[in-house]
């Protein structure tokens, strides 16, 4: 039965494509995760055009890839998610991964940092350094990136609620270390709308949260034009239960909300659109996943060109980081996750992802161990070095099946986006909790199907063995990490110029109240070593706190 929003049929579930012909006797119909019926075999008639009419990679609308030579020119960036304890411990892990051939960094922050709390805040008790690196002030960034060449290794910050502050810290740190901020590359996740749907590290209400994202895009467009201030995440909404079509559709709707916010500030689409990137999930059916990315890439280019009037191809490209996540992995027989991860990496390569953050086998239940991280890194290196995945661009291009599915995915994503707009738009659906309700119902339906065996999950509801009673290892936390972090915070506070801190925080308050772009004031406060918690408190005073809508509509 199709999920509903508030008792009303949403239409977010799509009509199932008909085969138009009867299945051979004895075969049951098969549907993709997004509800597209799959034929046992495809022919030239299915794509309604000859293969040689397909555009080349690097040509609009970029179905086959955003660059002409893709991985022949340069393999995808390998960017494993890392960070724990304090800045010093994280810096050591960064150097370990770079030494092992990792080509980009993807920083995990602890929950207090993500929620805008200092390490000495009572609400941070038990959480400091647990699921990522603790950051209180610019000092922590100086230590974390010590000895790393930021011109060669690009850094991605997985930060959302407090992203404006951490982007400012990254830019200030780079400037202090002598890098040219005008040419500095890097990414911040900074997609707050998806945090309201999944992941949950929101701080401020919806409207000011979008305003802050606009502040970072505008500021970077003007002062750090190579920096990508937002990575819009279909990833976490998919992780919260939605299907692959919805993953792309909601991400595109959210990206459009940020674009619209930025256009209001007088920037032209070609000034910034190319610096928006995407973060998508990989699990499920191999060919549907590849088609999702190919169809999505084509649709995004069309939206940018036709709807927003972008003229530079660079501003129409769907740049993406992709990787598998917890939803596809299982806590049962966790070694199977190594194989799942290998297929996810294959999908990312076949789909032409720019960057891959491959999930680790223990990531279903903890932040990855060094061993698990190395296996994921080696998985990608195997594809690059031994298995020829970089030799030819878009190797599935022209496949009757994949081209047909690409067309269908594109059409379904577009339909879902139109339905979101009819229901009031993505911002409204998120603010009143209808989207969250819709997505969590799907997670529930999925779980019921796994428990009933309707959806097969290897090692979970089939092929189980007696030895399954293996315990999991959680990432260990050390009490001395907390002590070190608290001591470092105390030292920073003792050394800094307090009147300067007070002055910059006052300016932040004044600018936020006046509706000005807050980034210049945040930059000044960061440079004065104001803390994440101090700056967040000022912004909460002005904007208030988000109140989560609790909604569990009856079917």
Partner 1 sequence: MGVGAMTDVTPRKIKVLLAKPGLDGHDVGAKVVVRALLDAGFEVVYTGLRKTPEEIAERAKEENADVIGMSILSGSHIPFAQRFRKLWDEYNLGTKLWLIGGNVPKKDHGTLKDIGVDAVFATGSKLDDIITYIKEQTARWPRN
Instruction: Specify the stretch interacting with partner 1 by CB under 8 A; choose among 412-420, 423-431, 511-519, 546-554.
Output: 546-554
Q: Among 240, 262, 279, 518, which residue interacts with partner 1 (rule: CB under 8 A)?
A: 240
Q: Does 454 bind partner 1 (CB under 8 A)?
A: no
Q: Does 130 bind partner 1 (CB under 8 A)?
A: yes
Q: Does 548 bind partner 1 (CB under 8 A)?
A: yes
Q: Does 330 bind partner 1 (CB under 8 A)?
A: yes
Q: Among 68, 444, 453, 506, which residue interacts with partner 1 (rule: CB under 8 A)?
A: 444
Tokens of 529: 């070593």
Number of residues lying near partner 1 (CB under 8 A): 45
Tokens of 270: 């070609």
Footprint (CB under 8 A) of partner 1, residues 133-192: none
Nearer to partner 1, 50 or 550 (CB): 550
Footprint (CB under 8 A) of partner 1, residues 459-488: 460, 469, 471-475, 477
Q: Does 284 bind partner 1 (CB under 8 A)?
A: no
Nearer to partner 1, 125 or 182 (CB): 125
**Shortest Å distance, C-beta 411 to partner 1:** 28
Q: Is the peptide bond before 61 cis (omega within 30 degrees of 0)?
A: yes
Q: Is 225 buried (19+), middle (13-18) or exposed (0-12) by CB count in 10 A?
A: middle
Q: Which residues fall within 8 angstroms of residue 266, CB to CB, at 6 or more apart? A: none
Nearer to partner 1, 109 or 300 (CB): 109
Q: Does 441 bind partner 1 (CB under 8 A)?
A: yes
Q: Does 267 bind partner 1 (CB under 8 A)?
A: no
**Shortest Å distance, C-beta 12 to partner 1:** 18
Instruction: Specify the stretch interacting with partner 1 by CB under 8 A; choose among 217-225, 270-278, 387-395, 446-454.
Output: 446-454
Q: Does 199 bind partner 1 (CB under 8 A)?
A: yes
**Shortest Å distance, C-beta 84 to partner 1:** 11
**Shortest Å distance, C-beta 336 to partner 1:** 13
Q: Position of tokens 């915070």?
A: 489
Angle, helix 479-495 to helix 87-99, in steps of 10 degrees = 110
Q: Which residues fall within 8 angstroms of residue 29, CB to CB, at 6 or more apart? A: 19, 23, 37
Q: Which residues fall within 8 angstroms of residue 152, CB to CB, at 6 or more apart? A: none
Nearer to partner 1, 126 or 515 (CB): 126
Q: Does 126 bind partner 1 (CB under 8 A)?
A: yes
User: Which residues on adjacent β-strands are paired with residue 355?
Assistant: 77, 321
Q: Which residues fall within 8 angstroms of residue 522, CB to CB, at 6 or more apart? A: 164, 165, 168, 508, 535
**Shortest Å distance, C-beta 553 to partner 1:** 10
Cα 226 to its chain centre, rounded Å, is 19
**Shortest Å distance, C-beta 438 to partner 1:** 12
Taking CA atoms, 376 is separated from 321, 342, 362, 424, in Å, by 15, 8, 11, 41
Q: Does 443 bind partner 1 (CB under 8 A)?
A: yes
Q: Which helix (DSSP H) or strand (DSSP E) does residue 14 occupy?
A: none
Pairing assessment for the beta strands 81-82 and 104-108 based on DSSP bridges = parallel
x/- contact string, 347-386, with partner 1 (CB under 8 A)?
-----------------xxx--------------------
461 and 451 in contact (C-beta within 8 Å)? yes
Pairing assessment for the beta strands 276-281 and 104-108 based on DSSP bridges = unpaired
Phi, psi of 233 (to 5 degrees): -110, 105
Q: Is 552 buried (19+), middle (13-18) or exposed (0-12) by CB count in 10 A?
A: exposed
**Shortest Å distance, C-beta 321 to partner 1:** 20
Give the span between the Cα atoms of 233 and 278, in whole angstroms: 6
**Shortest Å distance, C-beta 480 to partner 1:** 16
201 and 160 in contact (C-beta within 8 Å)? yes
Instruction: Specify the stretch interacting with partner 1 by CB under 8 A; choose among 151-159, 199-207, 258-266, 509-517.
Output: 199-207
**Shortest Å distance, C-beta 88 to partner 1:** 21
Q: Among 131, 267, 411, 502, which residue interacts with partner 1 (rule: CB under 8 A)?
A: 131
Nearer to partner 1, 3 or 75 (CB): 3
x/- contact string, 1-20, with partner 1 (CB under 8 A)?
--------------------
End-to-end CA distance of the chain: 9
**Shortest Å distance, C-beta 160 to partner 1:** 10
**Checking phi first, is residue 32 left (phi over 0); if not, alpha (psi -120 to 50) or beta?**
beta
Q: Among 103, 201, 277, 485, which residue interacts with partner 1 (rule: CB under 8 A)?
A: 201
Give the span between the Cα atoms of 138 and 249, in whole angstroms: 37
Helix (H, G, I), strand (E, B) or coil at 417: helix
Q: Which residues are near partner 1 by CB under 8 A?
A: 111-112, 114-115, 117, 123-127, 130-131, 195, 198-201, 239-241, 327, 330-332, 364-366, 440-441, 443-444, 447-448, 451, 460, 469, 471-475, 477, 548, 550, 552
């Amino acid at each position: 039965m199709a999920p509903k929003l508030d008792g009303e049929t949403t239409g977010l579930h799509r009509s199932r494509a008909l085969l138009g012909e009867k299945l051979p006797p004895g075969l049951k119909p098969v549907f993709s995760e997004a509800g597209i019926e799959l034929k046992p075999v495809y022919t030239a008639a299915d794509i309604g055009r000859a293969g040689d009419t397909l555009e080349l990679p690097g040509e609009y609308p970029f179905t086959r890839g955003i660059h002409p030579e893709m991985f022949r020119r340069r393999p995808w960036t390998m960017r494993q998610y890392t960070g724990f304890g304090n800045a010093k411990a994280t810096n050591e892990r960064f150097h370990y991964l770079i030494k092992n051939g990792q080509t980009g960094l993807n920083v995990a922050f602890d929950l207090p940092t993500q929620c805008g709390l200092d390490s000495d805040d009572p609400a941070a008790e038990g959480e400091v350094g647990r699921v990522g690196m603790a950051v209180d002030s610019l000092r922590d960034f100086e230590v974390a990136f010590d000895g790393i060449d930021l011109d060669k290794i690009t850094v991605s910050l997985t930060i959302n609620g407090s992203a404006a502050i951490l982007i400012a810290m990254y830019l200030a740190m780079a400037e202090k270390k002598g890098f040219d901020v005008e040419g500095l590359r890097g990414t911040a996740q900074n997609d707050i709308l998806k945090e309201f749907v999944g992941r949950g590290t929101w701080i401020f209400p919806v409207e000011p949260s979008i305003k802050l994202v606009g502040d970072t895009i505008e500021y970077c467009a003007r002062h750090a034009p190579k920096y990508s201030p937002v990575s819009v995440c279909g990833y976490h909404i998919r992780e919260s239960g939605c299907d692959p079509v919805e993953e792309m559709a909601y991400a595109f709707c959210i990206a459009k909300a940020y674009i619209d916010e930025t256009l209001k500030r007088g920037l032209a689409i070609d000034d910034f659109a190319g610096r928006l990137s995407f973060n998508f999930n990989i699990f499920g059916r191999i060919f549907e996943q590849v088609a999702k990315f190919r169809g999505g890439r084509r649709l995004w280019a069309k939206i940018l060109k036709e709807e927003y009037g972008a003229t530079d191809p660079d501003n129409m490209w769907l740049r993406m980081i992709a990787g598998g996540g917890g939803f596809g992995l299982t806590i049962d027989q966790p070694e199977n996750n190594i194989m799942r991860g290998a297929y996810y990496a294959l999908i990312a390569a076949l789909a032409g992802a720019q960057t891959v953050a491959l999930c680790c086998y223990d990531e279903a239940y903890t932040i990855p161990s060094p061993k698990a991280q190395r296996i994921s890194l080696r998985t990608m290196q195997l594809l690059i070095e031994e298995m020829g995945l970089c030799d030819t661009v878009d190797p599935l291009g022209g496949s009757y099946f994949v081209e047909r599915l690409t067309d269908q995915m594109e059409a379904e994503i577009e339909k879902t986006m139109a339905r979101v707009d009819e229901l009031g738009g993505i911002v409204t659906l998120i603010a009143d909790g209808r989207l969250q309700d819709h997505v969590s119902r799907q997670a529930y339906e999925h779980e019921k199907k796994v428990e009933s065996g309707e959806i097969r999950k290897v090692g979970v509801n089939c092929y189980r063995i007696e030895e399954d009673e293996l315990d999991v290892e959680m990432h260990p936390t050390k009490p001395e990490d907390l002590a070190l972090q608290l001591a470092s915070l105390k030292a920073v506070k003792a050394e800094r110029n307090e009147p300067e801190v007070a002055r910059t925080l006052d300016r932040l308050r004044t600018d936020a109240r006046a509706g000005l772009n807050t980034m210049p004031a945040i930059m000044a406060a960061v440079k004065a070593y104001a803390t994440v918690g101090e700056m967040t408190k000022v912004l909460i005073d002005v904007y208030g706190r988000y109140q989560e809508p609790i909604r569990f509509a009856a079917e």
